Amino acid sequence: MWQGSRSELGDNFIWSVCIALLMIYEGYMILHSWNSEAENVPEIDWCEPGEAAAMEVLLGSKDGFLTKRIKNYDMGRNDPTKPRALSCLSPYLHFGHISAQQCALEAKKRRHLSPKVRLLNFMLLS
């Protein structure tokens, strides 16, 4: 139980409320500045949303990962300066436009096309 006088209790309570309100206001200002900054971020143009776009990145006849770019994957997958070696599937997997299971099943269907597809299929399904 509080041992001080009633005025001390009131002063402490008022200070506590003032500090809490100040913290809330500072948090609001931080969030407001983040929202302002987020409005200035330009939209990306290299990634189209949707399942059809994800399947195009995975299987596309022009530049699909399993059909064209997989030949560079083993040597360049850890080098982000070589975009032709990357799968470019991360945003589609992250946002659920395609599943890892779909990718593995499509790799399994095409394992006869390349030894690298066979190796990828082994890694995914093992």
Domain 51-125 adopts which CATH fold?
1.25.40
Tens place of pLDDT for every residue, the chain, 126 residues? 455 555 555 667 888 888 888 888 888 777 767 766 667 778 888 889 999 999 999 999 888 988 888 888 778 878 878 878 888 899 999 999 999 999 988 888 887 777 766 566 556 654
What pLDDT was estimated at residue 117? 64
The domain spans of the chain are: 1-39, 51-125
Q: How far is CA 106 from the centre of its chain?
A: 22
What pLDDT was estimated at residue 8? 56
Give the HSE-up count for residue 4: Cα atoms under 13 Å, Cβ half-sphere: 8
Q: What is the pTM of this model?
A: 0.60
Q: Retrieve residue 48's tokens.
A: 């189209």
